Amino acid sequence: MQSETLSAALRQSGFENLTFSTPWSARLFGMTLAASEKGFFTLQQFQSALIGRISEKERFGCINTDDDYYTCWLEALQGLLEEKNLWQVHQLREREVEVVEAAEHRKEYQRQGQYTVQPEVVK
Amino acid sequence: MGHKHAHPEKAWQAIRTEAIESLLNEINVLTSEDIDKVVRHYEENVGPKTGAKVIARAWVDPEFKKRLLADGLAACAELGIGGPETELLHVVENTSKVHNVVVCTLCSCYPWPILGLPPVWYKSSAYRSRLVREPRKVLSELGVELQEDVEIRVWDSVSEIRYLVMPEKPDHAENLSEAELAELITRDHMIGVARHIHQAG
């Protein structure tokens, strides 16, 4: 842990002013608060789960980036939701495959020029 | 490169997050609108300006300041500020002989409703582990040079108690309005990684 790390991090002002550095971390954050508002777990329970993931991660390394941090967050949320047996393990895996395929499909569609870039109406 | 079935370009975390959201939608636990609402609120409405308003009020209104130091959440509620995320908000006051700074050693507890979301470095292992061990050094690296006789108090946030630093009101600020004072207060002042209040002009 070099002494530059902290000052360097502070100076990254572009990064600083972003609320969320990736779209997935924003969705994750939103899902967590929304699920706790609906009573699936309390924020304290989530906090404990997050602390658990972070200390696990820090046994082997450090949290240096927002991605490191929100990865722990993701694992904590996933763990809490899976305790509620909301889905079977294989369902999540299948859904992940579908997500990847859908993204590929969208890209393919764009490559084939199916989307036309033009204004809907010009008056 | 070049092979037909390219590796997915999305990060695995993005894929899993999207898959979980889609499952939650499907079993009617959460709608995407529920999630949008939270994200939009945090992106648009919540941020350090909220905390700055609270501090500026305390600077101009000694009675409010007393209430704020006694019970942070209740005093914030007077200004219509608050949220379900914090149980106790403890406001700690800087003086000429005391400097307060906030950390969360276990994860990244932070007064969300008042300061918005924490900056990236606040969540880093480096800040979380080093601030407690060598606060004077870390603060100096962050540009806060303190005289030897200034005591540093490091506050470790937990999920039930969050801390907010009240910086010292700058001298010669009598002519400034409450709103102008609020403009001078930054997020870093309220975490305690900045001390001096810079006045424009």
**Per-residue pLDDT tens over the stretch B115-153:** 888 887 888 888 988 999 999 999 998 889 999 999 999
Amino acid at B62: P
Q: Give the CATH number of the domain where residue B78 resides.
A: 3.90.330.10
pLDDT at B57 over 60: yes
If asked whether residues B29 and B92 sit together in one domain, one would say no
Are B39 and A51 a contacting pair at CB < 8 A? Answer: no
If asked whether residues B111 and B167 sit together in one domain, one would say yes
User: How many angstroms separate the CA of residue A122 from the nearest CA in chain B?
Assistant: 31
A101 shares contact with chain B (CB less than 8 Å): no
Across the interface, which of A62, A70, A71 has its CB nearest the CB of B126?
A62
If asked whether residues B31 and B102 sit together in one domain, one would say no
- Among all residues of B, which ones are annotated catalytic? 104, 107-109
Closest of B188, B98, B31 to residue A38, by C-alpha = B31
pLDDT at B67 over 80: yes
Helix residue ranges per DSSP H, chain B:
12-26, 32-40, 48-60, 62-70, 72-78, 112-115, 125-133, 135-141, 178-184, 187-191
If asked whether residues B92 and B173 sit together in one domain, one would say yes
If asked whether residues B133 and B57 sit together in one domain, one would say yes
Residues with Cβ within 8 Å of residue B105, at least 6 apart in sequence: B128, B129, B132, B156
Q: How many domains does chain B have?
A: 2
Decide if the complex's ipTM is over 0.85: no
Query: Does residue B175 fall inside a structural domain?
Result: yes
Number of Cβ within a 10 Å radius of residue B163 = 27
First-to-final CA distance of chain A: 60
**Per-residue pLDDT tens over the stretch B164-194:** 999 999 988 888 999 999 999 999 999 999 9
If asked whether residues B88 and B37 sit together in one domain, one would say no
**Per-residue pLDDT tens over the stretch B94-115:** 999 999 999 988 877 888 778 8
**Do A23 and B17 meet the contact criterion of CB atoms below 8 Å apart?**
no
Across the interface, which of A48, A50, A99 has its CB nearest the CB of B15?
A99
A19 shares contact with chain B (CB less than 8 Å): yes
pTM of the predicted protein model = 0.75
Domain that includes residue B33, residue range: 12-44
